[in-house]
Structure 1
Amino acid sequence: MFFVIRVRGSTGVIADIKDTLDLLNLTRISHAVLVEENPSMKGMLQKAKDYLTWGEIDAETLTEIIEKRGKLVGGDKVTEEYLKENTDFSSFEELANALINAEIKAKDINMKPVFRLHPPRKGYESIRLTYNEGGTLGYRGEEIIDLAKRMS
């Protein structure tokens, strides 16, 4: 499962790329989504690589993000009480593991698929260079965990 974060804004974006970002539910800077690791999603990420960064997320980090930033449809926070009463999960850890293993989707439990994060503490490296060149954009593998923690 990929954790995808939008890094750059919408000024001057080509229409095809803007449509791809909309399909990924990444309409604003510092929004993040969970995306399945399949060829069609990889193609979408590759198409919008100049506006996104992504990598594999672990259950511990996702648990922290759901706890701090998870919202239900309607705007309420996701709480453990809600999980116990309305889902088969009794904790954030169980929910995070199920999401990472693609057993469920966020909308199945009435949770918004987008996480609205803060800008990262100490800022981005560079929003015009790829991760391999010392910037922020593109695929970063396990290093997405560090960025996600700085943004949560």
Structure 2
Amino acid sequence: MIEGQLRQRRQERAAIAVSSKADKSAKRTIAFRNAVSYVKQYKVAEQSELRLKQQAKENGSFYVPAEAKFAFVIRIRGIVGVAPKVRKILTLLRLTRIHNGVFIKLNDATIKMIRMVEPFIAYGYPSLKMTRELIYKRGFAKVHGQRIAITDNSVIERSLGQYGIICMEDLVHEIFTCGEHFKEANNFLWPFKMNSPKGGFHKGAATTRHFNEGGESGNREHLINGLIAQML
């Protein structure tokens, strides 16, 4: 009787293992199909933008790209002796330490917050390539208040599977396109811990001067990609 029970348990474990293997294989197939679909979407969007630029040039006018939907924000200064409101905003933005970086969806409220702490941050609009590199190279998950390495797609699926986000490329796509579940995807990501930039930031007053005036702080627009690359 005992031998029969043991045999039954072994059979049950084997059946579960086969089912789990098939499930993982199916999910890998879905993730691959999603990645292929995203590449096609990105190419269509890129070709459309190039076509609009060419048409504007042929018509003797200027092409004005759509406003950015999200930004990557990096804290570059300490906050000793600053106003409590500045501290509060930096905390709300999850920029609690120097060289922390976060994605932020741009709307009236967040733009106002960013401008109020502009002397303490550098920000801009990352490219698809840099968004992907940030998530793949520096991305950690926030699971039950803990900083967890994203070792495989199951870490993502357990937290975001209910939103249709089951793999790294789904996560990249949701952030880069500022999708319907951007908030959930962004909150899943622990604030990025960036390195000091190669060569360092400018010292003294240059740190507080705006980027357009030769300093470090403020909006770098698409030039943020260069700073991110230095800090990865």
The answer to whether TM tops 0.5 is yes
Matched, 1:133 2:213: yes
Q: What secondary structure sits across from 1:43 in the alignment?
A: helix
Which letter maps to 2:71? F
Counterpart-to-counterpart distance in 2, 1:61 and 1:101: 14
Question: What SS does the aligned partner of 1:62 have?
Answer: helix
Checking the alignment, whether the CA contact within 8 Å between 1:66 and 1:78 is kept in structure 2 is no
Alpha-carbon distance between aligned partners in 2 of 1:110 and 1:48, rounded to the nearest angstrom: 21
Structure 2 distance, partners of 1:83, 1:58, is: 25
Q: Greater helix share, 1 or 2? A: 2
> Is 1:65 the counterpart of 2:134 in the alignment?
yes
Gaps of 5+ in 2: 1-69
Which is further off, 82-91 or 68-77? 82-91
**Cα distance in 2, alignment partners of residues 70 and 76 from structure 1:** 9
Residues 110/141 of structure 1: CA separation in 2 closer, same or farther (3 Å cut):
closer
Counterparts in 2 of 1:128 and 1:81: CA distance versus 1, 3 Å: same
Aligned partner of residue 72 in structure 2, secondary structure = strand
Q: Is the 8 A contact 1:55 1:143 kept in 2?
A: yes
Seen in structure 2, the aligned counterparts of structure 1 residues 109 and 19 have a Cα distance that, compared at 3 Å, is closer
The percent of aligned pairs where both chains have the same amino acid is: 27
| Contact 1:3–1:34 (8 Å) recurs in 2 | yes
Partner of 1:6: 75
Of residues 151, 159, 174, the one that matches 1:79 is 151
Q: Determine whether 1:49 maps to 2:112.
A: no
Q: Deviations over 1:44-103 (max 9, x none)?
A: 010001101111112211111111211112222123433675444465343212112222
- In the alignment, which residue of structure 2 is the partner of 1:92? 168
On the 8 A contact 2:175/2:185 being kept in 1, the answer is no
1:106–1:79 Cα change, 3 Å: farther
- Which is higher, the Rg of structure 1 or of structure 2? 2
Unaligned runs of 5+ in 1: none
Q: Which has the higher contact order (CA 8 A, sep 6+)?
A: 1
How far 1:7 sits from its partner (Å)?
0.5
Task: Write out per-residue CA displacement over residues 11-39 of structure 1, whole angstroms, 9 at most, x where no aligned residue.
Answer: 11111111111111111100011111111
TM-score, normalised on structure 2? 0.60
CA contact (8 A) 2:72 2:104 kept: yes
User: Could you tell me which residue of structure 1 aligns to residue 199 of structure 2?
Assistant: 122
CA contact (8 A) 2:141 2:190 kept: no
CA RMSD for the aligned pairs? Answer: 2.1
Q: Is contact 1:51-1:137 (8 Å) kept?
A: yes
